[in-house]
Amino acid sequence: MNNWVVLLVIGALIFPAMVIAVQPPKWSAMNNYDQAREKELMERAADWRNGPVVYQIIVDRFVPSKKLDSKKALYSSPRRLRGWSETPKQGKYLERDGVWSHEVDFWGGDLASLKTKLDYLQELGIDVVYLNPVFASLTNHKYDAWDYHKVDPVYGSRADLADLAKELHRRNLRLVLDGVFNHMGKRSPMFEEARRNSRSRWHKFFKFDEKQPRGYIGWADVENLPELNLENPEVQKFIYSEPDSVVQSYLRNEGIDGWRLDVAFDLGFRYLTDLTRAVHAAKPGSLVIGEIWNYPEEWHPAVDGVMNMHGRKLLLTMLEGRLSGPLCSQMWETSIDDAGMNHILKSWLVLDNHDTPRLANLLPEVWQQRMARALQFTLPGAVCLYYGSELGMTGGDDPEQRAPMRWDLVSPENEMLELHRKLLDMRHKEPALRYGDFRRLHSEKLFAFIRRTISVRDTVVVLANPTAQPVKELLQLRESKFQDVSKICDLLSAASFTVYSGTVDVELPAHSVMVLKVDTADYPNGYNRYDRIF
């Protein structure tokens, strides 16, 4: 009998301990998880490289200079100075210079004139100004550098560039330059000397090859673009690895905030990694973006982010009717999972730029353009706007898409500009759109996803119907903090829907997009007990 008593006493002691051991985590453990999540989001929010709005500018084409009379000698043959109202046209090949005549047509913009329009950019809501190359060179596009350490005189000087960076920083904006470090220009003094003298220090800077018709390797076989020999340690020192190198000097001296690397896919992982480390060492928190048209996986940390041309391709194909909305969203989800959210958030989502036709030419229907922009502003990553696209500027293949900025289109009557103003305002007000997570929503017809932080007050539901028919669907919301019978309201229209049991019945007209947020005004007070406000 005494043995039974002993067993009962032992059981009374052990059984509660077993019960406790299999209990779910207490609130303290859950709070630890929330704190870790909150810390991650705070780090994302503090990093300007996550989800900014980037505005791309070709300096020559943005604002006409007020000093053209004193600068006319800088546009001597083969350069030609055009009138601001002229449209770029395809020219003829200039054998002596190895360029097309439209590559040496100029419109007269410079760094000083660009500064006069910073109010416009700031009021628009731009975070980062990205300039196409500014190095001394022959052409208007300047991807054929003559001297990396010199700003082309048609644009100004390095002092002018430093002044621009200083003024942007005063306005809490950033400056990113275009780095062209795979090749230089045929008429660069460095290349000309290297070609004449095999004992010159510059000779091993380039890829001379007697088997080539021209005796050297040009990028994409372009005569005017002799490739640099990045395998040469002296080239690495000159370009990025020394404190006085090209890459580091502009960060240290002019105060720029990062580099966009031209044809980064050709530089390869090793040199990109070394260059990115040099950039970060010269200026902690600076940015390296690679022009990489490939699938975005594995390019981080060789670069901080890519120009997300893969995401662009998916969106354009869907809007052309050649890819369904659900499959497009599934592909986006896969690419984010493969590349990692922190890489995608720093990548630039581009719809059009100097290498592509303008969006208005790519997608001629207004609904296509509006949906493309709405998705660009709500998907993960930085928004990269090409100058004038917010105005609905048109332009076909090179050189038409590089036409001068249409300042005459800046008007409250311009519906495309007003759409961009609304999207830019929304982007700045909604934290989840800048640095929140991405979750795809299951749908049979829609491109559907949510962006979220740890607070439902930030959660944004994005629904796009690219089909020619209205869509009615029940969607699973995948957000545990949506209260039952709460309203989610479209930020772009007056539409709203009601949440029931973590689902919502939605109805979208043909060719429409909605950006929905929950109305938490009538949520009970106790809601704050589990909704951590970030």
Residues with active-site annotation? 262, 291
CA angle 285, 291, 292 (to 5 degrees): 110
Residue 98 structure tokens: 């190895």
| b/e sequence 212-221, b meaning 16+ C-beta within 10 Å | eeeebbbbee
Q: Are the beta carbons of 420 and 388 closer than 8 angstroms?
A: no
Identify the bridge partners of residue 472 per DSSP, sorted by sequence position: 507
Q: What string of H, E and C letters represents the secondary structure of 290-352?
A: ECCCCCCCCCCCCCCEEECHHHHHHHHHHHCCCCCHHHHHHHHHHHHHHHCHHHHHHCEEECC
Closest CA to 51 of 287, 365, 364: 287
Cα 414 to its chain centre, rounded Å, is 25
Residue with tokens 């022009």: 291
Residue 510: how many other CB atoms lie within 10 Å: 12
DSSP 187: T
Q: How far apart are CA 240 and CA 281, in angstroms?
A: 11
**Cβ–Cβ < 8 Å for 61, 107:** yes
The Cα diameter of the chain in Å comes to: 114
Give the span between the Cα atoms of 168 and 174, in whole angstroms: 6
Taking the C-alpha atoms of residue 520 and residue 534, their distance in angstroms, rounded to an integer, is 15
